Structure 1
């Protein structure tokens, strides 16, 4: 760890004068003065406890601002203040020969800045967290083999795969041209499974995604996790865990308590670029109206049995399966009245019906709604047209990537 600070200081501005701290008048002058004090301490000799204390004052004050009202109403200036607080705390933690626990705390602090803050100084928190990660990997290399038997056991469990009737099966096509996909599926808004279009992904060949691989590139990173088998359950909630904690608790079930958790978020690939480099945007997204920056990429990682209730989304969707398999059922928006959407504004895009165990007395019309279904296997991509209702159940340990586009 002795060389860690020299690596971090090398990516910081060389002196206090070149360290930017510009804010609008929305940020109180007293906060700006505290930020300047933290900056001055970064380039001078002072106690570690004083550096940590001042950084924590910045974090505590800006955290209150981030949690006042709804997230969309939070001014970006306060998100930037929070990121600066994270930067100063990381510097304080790593300045003097940090312990392994302090390095992990610094990684978590960077992640909180990446998740809750805004980019500062050419995304310096992303640069620093990569430096910290490489340090963590050095110290954890020897621990990687201890769980292989558990991982193998999970991989060979045979899921109960539903039998798909031919007349209900989502059609399949191998590598269609852009023109034929546009004419036959995109314009008429018809679901289809595309085969052979992501075979070149590193996630499927050079770096096959697995529990071991995810631990190696992201194990110490803190990410949002959905707790509960489906988001409509009363006990469903969200929390922050490291990827290692999520795997131990919800995939390997190391604490012996059977629980459901799902890593489902759109920031994962921005937060962990190593994973983003393992995937590619489907070529067919070029048929959309927006540009590449308008495409939302989501990660979905969780154990077998995790369910996304029947719901619809306001954009087109390519759901790419990388690890494991999923059972998926699709309904046309034309049959919305037979699917009994929730009346509340919050869940108006979600059906009240439990698809594989419907209550025919409460929802008598549901059985009359026509549908298509499939089992999506690794390497396959399902095109889900805009506002098409879809129900998803993981049949086994699963990692999927979805692309929402217009």
Structure 2
């Protein structure tokens, strides 16, 4: 099984002056000055064949006056491929919680060596950025989280055309007519309070565990003026992230995929409207767009028909806006509160409250959880 972000095809056109000596000097400054400083420390045991591969890659990196070129860069690239492919099998051999941190570190080193080989050879930078992201997502921190520092340098040197193309692509995506906006009746409307003091919020909502819409508390955030879909494409369109795809994560077609931010924006509009609860407090901050939200008290849990499986025990089987009352007759007993959360508003969701969320526009939210 080949690891995502593995070897690309033949070398494409050079990435321009940024891929030359100035960029390499900037990248090289992120690494220890001498070969022995790159310790290759692992947090556990790995198979005996792995450490010689790591040492060979390190030797190639520090040979030839500190910049592998030509055959050395190609050899370093191949070693990165081998290390990623070998450790990828270990990462996918069982449950993630049982994966050794040492194998995740090996994968991170494979991504690091692969990315450095791309830069040293003067190849286009997008594959190197993807390798760094894969190491950050699937690997474990090495060399004081060098992959995070490296990807920041590489992203800053990406050709401007890459960023413009991502933004232009987002503007061309198909825009569908928005669904009808639900009517929130006054008797079920969530209470709203503007700029409460911490003491007022604590005494009236946090301690008694009562949901509330908070207004005016994030107006000062820079993102309220800067963030948009096109902005994300411009600043992070090239970055690889984990994405959940599907209408609901209880549906058979639901899946997870690693893809770039711009690919996700250009290909998918996702509304996840499953009813579930979290075992923590949550502040749900609406940055742009609108969301329709319903909240159900933990006291109504039985009336929401949670799935029986352990994995989905905190997820309702009911489609709350179109319930099957023959199959779920007690759902009609479940009382709810609702709101249409507007940009700049924050919803406090107490522990174990069931919440249903449906996007009414292309929207973006930020959530904070705490115990």
1:114 counterpart (121, 128, 136): 136
Report the 3-state secondary structure (helix = DSSP H, G, I; strand = E; otherwise coil) of the residue aligned with 2:287.
strand
| Match for residue 229 of structure 1 among 242, 247, 262 | 247
Tell me the distance in 2 between the aligned counterparts of 1:227 and 1:165: 32
Summarize the alignment of residues 182-201 of structure 1 with structure 2, pairs less than 5 Å apart.
Answer: 182-201=202-221
Could you say what secondary structure the match of 2:242 adopts?
strand
2:96 paired residue number = 71
1:326·1:393 contact (CA, 8 Å) conserved in 2? yes
Equivalent of 1:245 in 263, 268, 280: 263
Unaligned runs of 5+ residues in structure 2 are 1-18, 65-70
Map 1:120-139 → 2, pairs under 5 A:
120-139=142-161
Q: What aligned pairs does 1:28-177 form with structure 2 within 5 A after superposition? A: 28-45=47-64, 46-98=71-123, 100=124, 103-140=125-162, 143=165, 146=168, 150=172, 154=175, 159-177=179-197
Backbone CA RMSD of aligned residues: 1.8
Q: Over residues 348-379 of structure 1, what are the superposed CA-to-partner deviations in whole Å (9 max), with x where a residue is unaligned?
A: 11111100000011111111111100000111
Spell out the pairing of 1:289-308 with structure 2 (5 A cutoff). 306-308=271-273
User: Cα deviation per residue 1:243-270 (whole Å; 9 max; x = unaligned)?
Assistant: 111111114xxxxxxxxx4xxxxxxxxx
Runs (5+) with no aligned partner, structure 1:
252-260, 262-305
Q: Distance in 1 between matches of 2:196 and 2:202?
A: 9
- Is 1:325 aligned with 2:290? yes
Report the Cα distance in structure 2 between the residues aligned to 1:222 and 1:381, rounded to whole angstroms: 28
- Aligned 8 A contact 1:154 1:397 in 2: no
CA shift in 2, pair 1:61/1:330, >3 Å: same
Q: What is the alpha-carbon distance in structure 1 between the residues aligned to residue 130 and residue 307 of structure 2?
A: 37
Q: What is the deviation of 1:25?
A: 5.1
Could you tell which deviates more after superposition, 157-166 or 67-76?
157-166
- Give the deviation of 1:203 after TM superposition: 0.6
Following TM superposition, by how much is the alpha carbon of 1:149 offset from its aligned partner in structure 2, in angstroms?
5.8
TM-score scaled by structure 1? 0.81
Q: Distance in 1 between matches of 2:155 and 2:36?
A: 29
Distance 1:247 1:149 in 2: 10
8 A contact 1:340–1:353 mirrored in 2: yes
Q: Is the 8 A contact 1:16 1:43 kept in 2?
A: yes
Partner of 2:3: none
Q: 1:146 to 1:242 in 2, by over 3 A?
A: closer
Q: Give me the whole-angstrom Cα distance separating, in 2, the residues matched to 1:134 and 1:20.
A: 28
State how 1:283-294 maps to structure 2 within 5 Å. none
* Distance in 2 of aligned mates of 1:221 and 1:104: 9
Partners of 1:137 and 1:181 in 2: CA distance:
48
Aligned residues: 346
